[in-house]
């Protein structure tokens, strides 16, 4: 199953999904910008795909006048 169909992603899968490095994903987790979960008794960290998508923001603000006209 590919990352787009999974609800929980490993750090490696999350990095590939957003085309970032694994260290960037770990940094977001440390900074509290990305919520992650550790499997009890294991080192594996899992991230909800929806939480990962919350990191994304528009590259530029949309013009409100233009949006209203459409």
* CATH of residue 25: 3.90.105
The share of the chain scoring above pLDDT 70, in percent, equals 81
The number of distinct structural domains making up the chain is 1
Global pTM? Answer: 0.75
pLDDT at residue 61 in the model: 78
Statement: residue 64 has pLDDT above 80: no
Residue 46 forms part of a structural domain = yes
Are 10 and 22 contacting, i.e. CB atoms less than 8 angstroms apart?
Answer: no
For 55, phi then psi, to 5°, come to -70, -20
**In the structure encoding, which two tokens stand for residue 62, read together?**
């949309």
State the residue range of the domain holding 32.
3-55
Q: What whole-number distance in Å separates Cα of residue 11 and Cα of residue 45? A: 7
- Nearest one of 35, 30, 31, 11 to 22, comparing CA atoms: 11
Statement: residue 16 has pLDDT above 80: yes
Q: What is the mean pLDDT of residues 24-33?
A: 97
């Amino acid at each position: 199953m590919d990352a787009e169909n999974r609800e929980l992603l490993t750090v490696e899968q999350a990095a590939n999904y957003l085309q970032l490095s694994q260290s960037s994903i770990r940094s977001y987790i440390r900074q509290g910008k990305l919520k992650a979960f550790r499997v009890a008794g294991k080192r594996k960290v899992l991230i909800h795909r929806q939480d990962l998508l919350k990191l994304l923001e528009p590259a530029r603000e949309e013009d409100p006048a233009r949006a209203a006209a459409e």
